Structure 1
Amino acid sequence: MNDVFKIESISQFHSLLQIPPPKHPLISVVDLSILNDQKQPPQSDGTKISSSFYSITLKHLKEGTLIYGRKQVDFQEGSLFFTYPDQVVTLKNAVFEDSRYSWGLIFHSDLILGTPLASKIATYTFFRYEVNEALHLSEDEKEGLSIIINSIRTELNRPIDKHTKNVFVSAIDLLLNHCSRYYDRQFVTRENENCTILRAIDKFLSNYFASSSLIEKGLPTALQCAEHVNLSPNYLSDLLRKETGKSTQEHIHYHLLEIAKDRLLGSNDSVKEIAHSLGFEYPNYFSNLFKKKMGVSPSVFRNLN
């Protein structure tokens, strides 16, 4: 059965967990260990679930599995992962470890409307990472984030006033900034693995441009690159930026332009013919990209060299 069970509100989410109603309609912090007090946690039988809110979850999963997209991961070591509105997650027979570091922060997008975070949140690309790209925290990092979570809990116990929204949004923004820092650390500590991925991407692109795929399928995409190394497009692009300063798309363009320059200088083919051989249906797109990256048009580049 492929139907997705949609959770429309934070109140509905609390109801499904059989816990007291939320103290604020747009934000809540849930102690995940309370799920162990139930004989059968709701919707934990493999049902696909999506919600209308963002979630940031630190899980210590002793038993069961979490499936996110097509990926499954073991959370026994305790990992932080993120979901965005309408992301589909599947939870199977979950039993969470009784830990003060096992919590879930959920907040509706309406909470951040009209604040700088509303436009900034799209820059936190880890919301669209795959679950196997979760953030693995040190004890100090867990403690630091839990301090912020506890400050949100404290605010939830206060009467709502004109400052409430700003306090919540500031706390979420601070937490996300720390998460960005910790992800940067994780990229660094996985340097050897990252270099292997970088080599795999370069090899994939070199082979792609040298094969008939370019003519048959057109230019390679960031998604194809990510699937080749079993990563999400956002995670791969962020990893490449950390390692090389270039996004996945910029890596594709780099390989493309190297071949284009070689053909411009090593053949008598017209710019139009070269554009078509590189997978461009419209030569103007090729010329515009070439000029944007190289500073001159293909024809000028050929004449100058």
Structure 2
Amino acid sequence: MKPIIQFRSINDINKFGSNKSVKHPLITIVDFSKIDQSIEEGTQITMDFYCIMFKNYCTNHIRYGQQKCDFQEGSLLCIAPKQVIVMDSQIEKKENMTGWGLLFHPDLIRGTSLGAKMKDYTFFSYETSEALHLSDKEKQILYDCILKIQSELDENIDTHTQNLIVSNIELLLNYCSRYYGRQFITRKNSNKDILTQVETHLQNYFCAGSIKEKGLPTVKYLAESVHLSPNYLSDLLKKETGMNAQDHIHFFLIEEAKNILMNSDSTVSEIAYKLCFEYPQYFSRIFKSKTGMSPLEFRNKN
């Protein structure tokens, strides 16, 4: 049976990281160089926290989701609460092990403007091989944010503490958004390959009549087809084309609807059912939103 480590409280994290004192019950910063415990191969780790980890050393891979993470030297990984990390090989204490981890409970940001925006930081749901690779300048900027948070944790808690800590977390996350945007740009060639694969998968799906057997393709299906997480794929496509994954699915869907409208006498309801819409009105609404015309207006115009 695989060993499991469950971190349920900040105190659990601090004990593991050799930081015995709890400076704040909802947030902590871990210095990887001070971790004095090894982690056995195959260990599953779950946490009740948002976790942002940066490491400046090379170890063997970990798995987050179904695939190995590209979590190499100088890279940063963001993990949402309740997710499972699996160690692919034993990680032992090393003298050159450096880096930091910022862990904070959702309760810390609940009711704040950051709490309402967390869903916009989609990189917390990148489940496969896309850690954020940082330049030296980017590393320092993020570390400066960590130092500001640590400075607040070292102070006595007062009425300003939470606002200042949350503001610096938000600043750090905004920098992460910027750097992920830069990473999408620098990987433009590989992104184009993925775009080509997406278009090929969708074209084959509709041409092969898979929609009759399997229903409309989902973002999850499309992401699995190119071995990416749904959020990462949508963000990549948005950067490349201005359309997210769902928009691409709708584009091919509307093209298929246009073909049927022009090459058959099927009613709008029949076409909607043929395209796996339970409600014809919903099909007509999507069609008009994408073309500016209702299905019947499109047929009559052409």
The letter for the 2-side match of 1:182 is: Y
Asked if the contact 1:57–1:103 (Cα under 8 Å) also holds between the matched residues in 2, the reply is yes
The answer to whether 1:53 aligns with 2:49 is yes
Q: How does 1:135-284 map to 2 (within 5 A)?
A: 135-284=132-281
Aligned to 2:82: 86
The letter for the 2-side match of 1:183 is: Y
Q: d(CA) in 1 for partners of 2:3 and 2:265?
A: 57
**Higher strand content, 1 or 2:** 1
Q: d(CA) in 2 for partners of 1:301 and 1:191?
A: 36
Q: d(CA) in 2 for partners of 1:140 and 1:212?
A: 51
Q: d(CA) in 2 for partners of 1:74 and 1:300?
A: 50
Q: d(CA) in 2 for partners of 1:284 and 1:191?
A: 39
The letter for the 2-side match of 1:26 is: L
- Pick which of 68-77 and 232-241 moved more: 68-77
Q: What are the ranges of 5 or more consecutive residues in structure 1 without an aligned counterpart?
A: none
Q: d(CA) in 2 for partners of 1:303 and 1:74?
A: 53
Asked if the contact 1:226–1:232 (Cα under 8 Å) also holds between the matched residues in 2, the reply is yes
Aligned to 1:27: 27
Q: Give the TM-score of the pair, scaled to structure 2.
A: 0.93
Question: Partner of 2:58: helix, strand, or coil?
Answer: strand
Instruction: Please report how far the alpha carbon of residue 231 of structure 1 lies from its aligned counterpart in structure 2 after TM superposition.
Output: 0.5
- Pick which of 168-177 and 283-292 moved more: 283-292
The letter for the 1-side match of 2:60 is: G
* Residue deviations 1:76-125 (CA, integer Å, cap 9, x gap): 42210101111111234124765696100011111112210010111000
Asked if the contact 1:10–1:22 (Cα under 8 Å) also holds between the matched residues in 2, the reply is yes
Asked if the contact 2:14–2:28 (Cα under 8 Å) also holds between the matched residues in 1, the reply is no
Q: d(CA) in 2 for partners of 1:201 and 1:88?
A: 28
- Pick which of 266-275 and 141-150 moved more: 266-275
Q: d(CA) in 1 for partners of 2:97 and 2:161?
A: 25
* Residue deviations 1:208-259 (CA, integer Å, cap 9, x gap): 0111311000000101111111100000000000011101000000011011
The answer to whether 1:10 aligns with 2:6 is no
Asked if the contact 1:187–1:239 (Cα under 8 Å) also holds between the matched residues in 2, the reply is yes
Question: Partner of 1:94: helix, strand, or coil?
Answer: coil
Q: Give the TM-score of the pair, scaled to structure 1.
A: 0.92
Q: d(CA) in 2 for partners of 1:241 and 1:252?
A: 13
Q: What are the ranges of 5 or more consecutive residues in structure 2 without an aligned counterpart?
A: none
* Residue deviations 1:139-181 (CA, integer Å, cap 9, x gap): 1100111111111111111111111001100100100010000
Percent identical: 49
Q: How many pairs align?
A: 301
* Residue deviations 1:252-285 (CA, integer Å, cap 9, x gap): 0001101111221222222222223223243333
Taking only aligned residues, the RMSD between alpha carbons, in angstroms, comes to: 1.9
Q: d(CA) in 2 for partners of 1:151 and 1:97?
A: 27
